[in-house]
Amino acid sequence: MHFLHPGQWLHHHMMRYLSISNRALIQIIKPKPGRNGKKLVSDFDGEVPSDIDSLLTIPGVGRKTANVILAVAFDTPAMPVDTHVFRVANRIGLTNNSKTPLQSEMELVKYIPESMLTKAHHWLILHGRYICMARRPKCEICGLSQWCKYYEKKGRPSLNMTAPYF
Distance in Å, CB of 124 to ligand SF4, minimum: 10
Establish whether 82 is a catalytic residue: yes
Distance in Å, CB of 151 to ligand SF4, minimum: 4
**Count of beta carbons in the 10 Å neighbourhood of residue 124:** 25
Distance in Å, CB of 77 to ligand SF4, minimum: 23
Give me the catalytic one of 32, 43, 75, 82.
82
Residues 6 or more apart in contact with residue 108 via CB below 8 angstroms: 79, 81, 85, 89, 94, 95, 117, 120
Give me the catalytic one of 64, 119, 138, 154.
64
Nearer to ligand SF4, 69 or 120 (CB): 120
Distance in Å, CB of 159 to ligand SF4, minimum: 11
Nearer to ligand SF4, 64 or 91 (CB): 91
Exposed e or buried b per residue across 48-82, where buried means at least 16 C-beta atoms within 10 angstroms of its C-beta: bbeeeeebeebeebebbbbbbbbbbeeebbbbbbb
Nearer to ligand SF4, 11 or 156 (CB): 156
How many Å is the Cα radius of gyration of the chain?
18
Q: What is the DSSP letter of 74?
A: S
Residue 4 phi, psi (nearest 5) = -90, 140
Distance of CA 158 to the CA centre of its chain: 26
d(C-alpha 84, C-alpha 38), whole Å:
32
Nearer to ligand SF4, 42 or 160 (CB): 160
Establish whether 64 is a catalytic residue: yes
| Residues forming the site for ligand SF4 (CB under 6 A) | 91-92, 131-132, 137-139, 142, 144-145, 148, 150-151
Which positions are catalytic?
Answer: 64, 82
